[in-house]
Amino acid sequence: MKHTVAAIIAGNKSPDGTFEEPGVANGIAPAAKIAFVDISSTIGKLNPPSDNEVLSTGRVSTNGRSPIAHIHSMSWGSKNVFYYNNQARMFDNYMFANDDFLAVVAAGNEGLGDKATSVTAPGNSKNVLSVGASHSYGYDLARGQLGPSYVASFSSRGPTTDGRIAPDVVAPGKYILSAAARPNSPGACDPLDGDVPQAGENMEGLFSQAGSSMSAPLVAGAAALVRQYFEQGWYGDGTKDSGSYLNPSGALVKATLINGAQADIRGVDNGSGRITEVAAYDNNAGFGRVSLTDSLYVAGKTGVGFRFWDGERLFDGDIARTYEVTIDKSRGCDANDLSVTLTWIEEGSPPGCTKCLLNDLDLYVTERGKDSKVYHPNGRSIKDHSNNVERVVIDGAEDGSSYTIYVEAYNLNSLSQKYALVATGCFGGRTNTLGTAQNVFSSQSDGGGGSDSTNRAIIIVCASVGGVIVVCLCFALFRRHQQKSKKKEKEKKATQKKVAQKKATQKKATQNTKQKEKPHKNQKAEQKGKPHKKQTGESAAPESKLKRERPRKC
């Protein structure tokens, strides 16, 4: 039985292999189409094509139509290659030459022991969307896992060898349930008894597995939904066809996903209660966990307004390009933050580069009336000259406040550079009626594995109760031991007293006997003059007899 990552992206259950129906492990984008290439040979060996052939799968125009495949989900990479190599360069060049294309790449599983710079090629490319693994939720959690607010211990970490943020985002990857390939068995079915495989197990046509190889297709499915959002014109007023058809660039899809990523990760779960602290823009989770509800505006269904600018271009020497947004909460939007993200796709760099960024654009934001306050990207207090993704998040953007977004060309290696820009916040959108603000990330409940605070509370309570029980037992044992000691001491004293009394009695009796056996002076004199009668068969005369025989003193 083999794990099929394509089923994480798309598809439904199909009992007969022809007709499909909803199941327990539907794909993220169930109706998406999959292009694939067979890499097996006629003699049963693997015959993988070149990287360029793989990326081109499904992109060859037919009947005058434009390429169909716009997203590549990649759950493979170069093992133990942590530097920018020829493969990373090739991926960057392919995306640069194909503006509509986005490669979503697994960051790798080399992060055990908080190993830094462990994102493998081509996950360390500049233009791809690199994905790390976080924990899942509900029955997809194994015993002991802390829940979806934690990064999986094996997930590869940044930075890249030239100092760029990696991975870009994280998504659930420990564990993920999807369809399993069953040779000689048509269709893929949920178990007939309705039971679901536990984390890491397989059952019937379902299989649960862990790895960033599971996280990448989840994000690829989310990227397909983002493309659908633009293609069906949802961006107008948050309803379908409210905007015109748009073929978004790979940079815009990437910017949209990163801009909505949430930095509410609580740590890296290393098992046995060992947690590594994380922070926004760090080497563990990058820009955060993917969240479509914080990335796009759907009227009444999400909590943020959405603005975007695609295919923008700056030439070397141009003055900064500016964009204006105003916070408007009049229709019930209650989003707290203003988030702005800039991305651009550039040519590949020389393999082994120590500063791989070629075209350096800069993003910064100011608030009208408070121009002295400048918001720089990626958690920095100065401009970023390393990354081709820059994000500014302003906490507590107040109703009525206006902001100016600046994009400038700091230093270009080429004549010009295209870019995509995205902003989310309260821009007059309707109230979110789904209540998605309260979820397993904002609350203290992480689902099947339990939240860390709940677990810790249980541990603390159990420890406290256990401590009280132990103290009580120890005190009881001490009291019992003390009582036994007192009893033994009392018995010892009583025994000593009895022995002393017995000795005293024996001593007194001995003294009395000696006094009785000692002859009187007159008696001695009388006995000297009178022969002693020999006594046979009897002991010495009793005391009363001796008294009668003793002569009285005159």
Judge contact between 336 and 326, C-beta under 8 A. no
Per-residue model confidence (pLDDT) at position 406? 98
Mark 532-544 as b/e (b = at least 16 C-beta within 10 Å). eeeeeeeeeeeee
Report residue 238 CA to chain centroid gap.
Answer: 32
Which of the following CATH numbers is that of domain 34-175+210-450: 3.30.460, 2.60.40, 3.40.50, 1.10.8?
3.40.50
- How far from 170 is each of 39, 112, 273, 287, 497, CA to CA, in Å? 29, 16, 21, 8, 82
* 202-203 and 206-209 beta bridge pairing: antiparallel
Per-residue model confidence (pLDDT) at position 203? 82
Judge contact between 383 and 376, C-beta under 8 A. yes
Structure tokens at 359: 């075209």
CA angle 227, 172, 258 (to 5 degrees): 45
Residue that has been written with the tokens 């019992």 in this structure:
480
Structure tokens at 180: 């399993």
Walk along the chain (554 residues) and give the pLDDT tens digit of each residue.
455 788 899 988 877 777 888 888 899 999 999 998 887 777 878 888 888 888 999 987 666 666 689 999 999 888 899 999 999 999 999 999 999 999 999 999 999 999 999 999 999 999 999 999 999 998 898 888 999 999 999 999 999 999 999 999 999 999 999 887 666 666 557 777 778 888 988 887 888 999 999 999 999 999 999 999 999 999 999 999 999 999 999 999 999 999 999 999 999 999 988 999 999 999 999 999 999 999 999 998 998 999 999 999 999 999 999 999 999 999 989 899 999 999 999 999 999 999 999 999 999 999 999 878 999 999 999 999 999 999 999 999 999 999 999 999 999 999 999 999 999 999 998 877 777 666 777 654 454 444 443 443 333 334 333 443 344 444 444 455 555 555 556 666 666 666 666 666 666 666 655 555 545 444 444 444 444 444 444 344 344 333 334 443 33
Residue that has been written with the tokens 């990523």 in this structure:
261
Q: What is the tens place of the pLDDT at every residue in 327-380?
A: 999 998 989 999 999 999 999 999 999 999 999 999 999 999 987 899 999 999
> What ranges do the domains of the chain cover?
34-175+210-450, 451-490
Structure tokens at 184: 């000689």
Judge contact between 445 and 146, C-beta under 8 A. no
Count the neighbouring beta carbons within 10 Å of the beta carbon of residue 64: 5
Per-residue model confidence (pLDDT) at position 469? 39
Rounded Cα–Cα distance for residues 315 and 419 (Å): 11
Per-residue model confidence (pLDDT) at position 524? 43
Rounded Cα–Cα distance for residues 123 and 110 (Å): 12
DSSP 116: S
Residue 551 preceded by cis peptide, ω within 30: no
Residues in the chain: 554
Radius of gyration of the chain from its Cα atoms, rounded to whole angstroms: 43
- How far from 426 is each of 111, 294, 330, 335, 430, CA to CA, in Å? 37, 11, 9, 6, 9
- Residue 15 φ then ψ, to 5°: -60, -35
Per-residue model confidence (pLDDT) at position 198? 86
- Residue 448 φ then ψ, to 5°: -50, -40
Facing residues of 307 across strands? 423
* 206-209 and 176-181 beta bridge pairing: antiparallel
Q: With DSSP H G I counted as helix, E B as strand and the rest as coil, what are the percentages for the chain, rounded to 5?
A: 25, 20, 55
- How far from 344 is each of 134, 416, 451, 511, CA to CA, in Å? 26, 11, 38, 120
Judge contact between 267 and 277, C-beta under 8 A. yes
Judge contact between 402 and 326, C-beta under 8 A. yes
Q: Which amino acid is at 378?
A: N
Structure tokens at 244: 């015109």
Q: Which of 232, 143, 225, 223 is nearest to 450 (CA)?
A: 143
- Sequence-ordered alpha helix ranges (H) in 132-291: 212-231, 250-259
Q: Which of 68, 77, 73 is nearest to 27 (CA)?
A: 73
Rounded Cα–Cα distance for residues 129 and 46 (Å): 27
Per-residue model confidence (pLDDT) at position 239? 96
Rounded Cα–Cα distance for residues 356 and 548 (Å): 135
Residue 159 preceded by cis peptide, ω within 30: yes
